[in-house]
Every structure is written in structure tokens, then in C-alpha cells.
Structure 1
Amino acid sequence: KDPEPERIKSKRSMFQRALNSGVTIVAGGDVGVFEHGENVRELELMVEYGMKRMDVLKSVTSVNAEVFGLQSLGRLQEGFLADIIVVAGDPSKNIADLYQVKLVMKDGTIYKQ
């Protein structure tokens, strides 16, 4: 395995310091570095860099909504606007299962089934 470049070591260290300091971390705000449909890579890196899988899943849903002040978003709850995906597997055990999208519903309309 090739040694990790210094810039990657630095990013990993900074991410871990932020986690350990209790910084609120959200996902997806500036993921433009990944091709459309590949944003799960950011979530995989967050896990790889030390964030718990459930915290990563929250960071891209409810925490994101809270940080951006978006009311009635980010939770599966009556009265909330829901964009839902169904995946094969269990992303709380393997974050990469998010690549296995089986259903997409946005604003109550199914776009992929």
C-alpha cells in the first residue's frame, strides 16, 4: 500500500481534532469534488476518519437540517417534508450500503423503484 500523502494525513488529523472537540459536522454542503451520485464517498471518508456511522447518517439528515435552520426537514415525522431512500443492506453497519439505492421518494413522489 502506498504511503498516505501528507495533505491527506493533515485532513484526517484535522477531522479527528474537530470530532474530539465536539464540533458539529454536517455532510454534503460542498461535495462538488465527487461526481453526481458518488457523494456517499464523503460519508465513507467521514467513517474512515473516525466518525461513528450513526453520527454520519445523522449529519447528512437531521443535523444538516438543524444547522441550516430548515424547519420540518431531516426527520421521518408527521408533518415533515420527507425525501426518503431505501437501500439494500444496513448503512448503520456498512455506510457503503448507501450505494445500493432501491427506492427514491421526494415530496411524496416515487422517482426510482
Structure 2
Amino acid sequence: MTDRRQVKWLMKIWISVAAIAVILGYGAFRAKDLAQGPRLSVESPADGSAMRDPLVSIKGTAKNISFLTLNGDKIFTDESGAYDEKILLSPGYNAVTVEARDRFGRMVRQTLQLTYN
């Protein structure tokens, strides 16, 4: 092989290796969502809280989701995954359910038990 052909051959090998590394890296990055599943947290109010005001703000974060509901109604997050929705409590015991699903159909749910006096 001449020097010029050898350089071209080595360049093709290095470019192929770099392309494969980029493809594998991107695949690993996207597979992270598949492995982790949806993540959901409700920051306020705390479960079991007794509320004095019937209008309550449910705040939290959701990651790796494609669908989010509060008591069955679709809600939305901001760019960072935070949500803040207001609900009206009935007098007495109230169950508030936040449910998140990812694009693979996996679901997580958190239910808060709140009382309004």
C-alpha cells in the first residue's frame, strides 16, 4: 500500500469508529429514560394535612413523562418538570391522586389524603 492509500484507509477507519461511538453514545443516552421510567414527586401539601382553605395548590415535579394527571384531569409541567395546580377541596376527607405515565406505558401514582375543616 502506498502512503497516500494508507492514510486514506486510516482516515476511513477513524471516521467509522467515531461515527459508531456517537451512535452508541446517543443510544445509551436515550436508553436512560427506558431504564429509569417515570419519576414523580409531590412537594406540597404533605400527605395527611388538615387544610383550612378549600383552595389548595398541589406542587411537585415529574420527570421522564409523557402524560400527567391530577384526579384524572390532564395537567402540564414547565420546562424543568415542575407543576403547580389548584384544586377545590370538599368538606371532610379528600383523596388527591397525581398519576404520571411515560411513553412506554409505565405508570407511577401518588395519592394524598387531605382533610378540609
Sort the TM-score into its range (normalised by shorter chain): under 0.3
Q: Which has the higher strand share?
A: 2
Normalised to the residue count of structure 2, the TM-score between the two structures is 0.26
Q: Which structure has the larger Rg?
A: 2
Normalised to the residue count of structure 1, the TM-score between the two structures is 0.26
